[in-house]
Amino acid sequence: MSVSLPPRRLLLAWLLVAGWLLTSALAQAAEPTDAQRAAFKRAYATAQQGGDGWRSLAAGLRDYPLYPYLQAAALQHDIQQADRASVEAYLRQYPDWIPAADLRRAFLLELARRQDWSNFLALYQPGLGDTLGCDALQARLAGGARLDFERDLAELWTRPGLPSACDPVLRAAHDQGLLTDARVWTRIDRAVDAGQAGTIAGLADWLDEPGRRSAQQLALALRDPAAALAAAAGWPDQPRQREAAALALARLARRQVDGADTAWQQLRSHFTFNETQRNRILRTLALFHATDFDDGALERLIALPAAAQSEGTREWRVRVALARQNWSAVLAAIDAMPAEQQQDGEWRYFRARALAALGHDDEARRLFEAQAGQATFFGFLSADRLDQPYAICPLTLADSPQREQALLANPGVLRAFELYAVGLPKLARREWARALQDADPATQRVAAVLANRRGWYDRAVFVLNSGEALRLYDLRFPLASQDGLVPQAEHAGVEPAWAYGILRAESAWASDAQSGADARGLMQLVPATAALVAKRNGLDWGGGDTLYDPATNIALGTRYLAQMAARFNGSPWLASAAYNAGPNKVDQWLAARGTLAPDLFVATIPYKETREYVARVMAFSVIYDWRLNGGPVVALAERMGAIGQPYALPTAATARRPVDCPPVAAPATAASAAAATP
């Protein structure tokens, strides 16, 4: 049946369709050319050196979507010579652009350095961070204004640490009598909670005796807990001294638990610790005796008062019992957890392990079956226990052309894609975040699909990280053949699926990732290690920045992975632990607990980061095996052979486990899915 529309409504409908087609055409026509991108790269590199040389290189880029980034880069480089007029001209022309915000911030910092306070105040906007906020207060002070604590300092005062730009402001506040002892102690207490010894030491000078000495003792407890405890026997039994001693005991326990235990025995009768302090000390001592697997560690954890227990102590009670293979104690420890903690996939799996070890096979099987429906580390382990197929149930996003076109008409999204295309991923992520900050989940998923098509894989990894989106395996576990991982892994003598799992766990596909330890790129190599690997394997080495090139990073990363595997009889799971924590640490753990079954050994790794890392890598290896090869995959039990058992690369004869999607797959909870999320 057809429906006739009135002429006016028909015209409106045609206009809407025409508008959509025009938007689509414009979006598609706006795709920059390779020549434009190459020209932009040359111009941007020149602009970053300052001056106007970039302009001749950018003559044909006026309509290129990133053109404003060029002038901003040149102005930023020349910021010490910049004047207010040139900066304001740029801000007026591109008021809502990220480079404009960066330029404003950079010029304000320069004006503060010059102490050009009148121009500073003319350009300053609130909300630019603590450094510029304090500079603005300096500017007002320079103009003769006085500070008001509630208006000017109350919010800053809540920070445990402040930038050096705030020092003159705080001195002025002190000279005005605004920093009373009560206010100083409020901030000291916050700094204690945050472990900021430097902040406490700086504030101590504004206190009279004996407050100054008390603050210095708190700073010492944070900075050098052993020295603080050595002196604590001579401290009076006063509230601040008790807190400093309790703080030092807890801090020392993390580094040297036996020394902290000795100090506790000496000081427990000297100070009248309150219940909270006593529980904190007992909890910390018990926890770090447990991570060392000391004799009596399990008994300490069991004996902890209820108020002293925490999620961590309950968890370690299970781990110590697992190390002893005391299955009754494992069940008792899991039973002692709150119901929510018991639902974590790890504890459900180990409850089943304990029940099976104690002969409760039917109950164990029910728990394993509940876990085996999940594509996680413990789900795969459970399926191995039952000799069942792995449950991997892929989900495919339905096409959403209208959302795609709307996104491709969004200038911020286009700038993000273009910044990524020209090798500026940090700036690309900022444009992405701003453009999509208010987008609904469906729109964010479509944006991730568009990014994935452009080879920007980390967007999908970070966006698709909960609920049903966890099943979008093609997006969450990209293959990226252009980076050469498969041939490089095969040349290095490691399984490609495992190498992919390492890469995915290390960087989540962010090629410019850099850790606090200066590990760089997709497989997170430290430059010094990469240089040694290159030399050992006869590969070219161009310095640390070459690790941001995916092909270079993968070539070196796969060789280093092979080096770790060779050290541990080819074992991928032990080599994964070594890749994360270092081979010497793994050797120490093997010397202490090397007779344990692999799943128990992983559960007793003292470092939370490494435990979760090994679980992620091994689960990711299974998923990548399926992504690469389809059909049956090498079983996790095969990949996680017994300690000391040589591991051989999979061949056609290697036993494999089928992959199936049950009619109703158990949904992964946030906790149980942790082993399969970034």
Distance CA 575, CA 586 (A): 9
Where in the chain are the domains?
A: 34-125, 401-471, 482-509+557-671
* 511-516-522 Cα angle (round to 5): 20
Output DSSP code: residue 97. -
Q: H helices within 422-472, ranges in order?
A: 425-435, 441-453, 458-463
Position 668 scores a pLDDT of 46
| Cβ burial, residue 1 (10 Å; 0-12/13-18/19+) | exposed
Kindly report the CA angle at 87 between 86 and 93, in degrees rounded to 5?
A: 90
**Alpha-carbon separation of residue 438 from 199, 282, 397, 402, 435 (angstroms):** 37, 46, 21, 18, 8
Predicted confidence at residue 664, as pLDDT, reads 56
Task: Return the closest-CA partner of residue 384 out of 50, 656, 143.
Answer: 656
Write down the pLDDT at residue 672: 42
Q: Look at the block and give the residue holding tokens 């409504």.
A: 9
At residue 203, φ and ψ (nearest 5 deg) are -75, -25
Place of tokens 């020149």: 46
Q: Which residues of the chain have pLDDT under 50?
A: 1-29, 665-678
Looking from the CA of 61 toward its CB, the CA atoms found within 13 Å total: 24
| Angle between helices 496-507 and 572-581 in degrees, nearest 10 | 30
Classify residue 375 by burial, with Cβ atoms within 10 Å: 0-12, 13-18, 19+. buried
Q: What is the pLDDT of residue 64?
A: 97
Contacts (Cβ under 8 Å, ≥6 apart) of 569: 644, 645, 646, 647
CATH number for the region 482-509+557-671 comes to 1.10.530.10
Q: Does the active-site annotation cover 506?
A: yes
- Using H for helix, E for strand and C for coil, what is the string for 512-544? CCECCCCCECCCCECHHHHHHHHHHHCCCCCCH
Cα–Cα distance, 131 to 19 (Å, whole number): 47
Say how many C-beta atoms besides its own lie within 10 A of residue 543's C-beta.
Answer: 9
According to DSSP, residue 153 is labeled: I
Out of 315, 431, 495, 506, the active site residue is 506
Beta carbons of 610 and 635 less than 8 angstroms apart:
no
The predicted pLDDT at position 26 comes to: 38
Task: State the Cα–Cα distance between residues 334 and 322, nearest whole angstrom.
Answer: 11
Tell which phi-psi region holds residue 50, choosing left (phi > 0), alpha (psi between -120 and 50) or beta: left
Distance between CA atoms of residues 576 and 622, nearest Å: 14
List the Cα angle 635/636/640 in 5-degree steps: 125
CA 620 to chain centre: 17
* End-to-end Cα, the chain, rounded Å: 51
Tell me the Cα Rg of the chain.
30
Task: Mention every residue, 6+ apart, whose C-beta is less than 8 A from residue 395.
Answer: 468, 469, 471, 472, 473
Token pair for residue 603?
């559960």
Strand partners, 525: 520
> What per-residue confidence (pLDDT) applies to 663?
76
Q: Do the beta carbons of residue 103 and residue 90 sit within 8 Å? A: yes
| Alpha helix stretches (DSSP H) within 208-274 | 211-223, 225-232, 239-255, 257-267
Q: How many CA atoms lie within 13 A of 218 on its CB side?
A: 29
Is the bond leading into 210 cis (omega within 30 degrees of zero)? Answer: yes
Provide the 3-class DSSP secondary structure of residue 128.
coil
State whether residue 246 is helix, strand or coil.
helix
Residue keyed to tokens 């910049």: 82
Q: Where are the alpha helices (DSSP H) in 477-526?
A: 485-492, 496-507
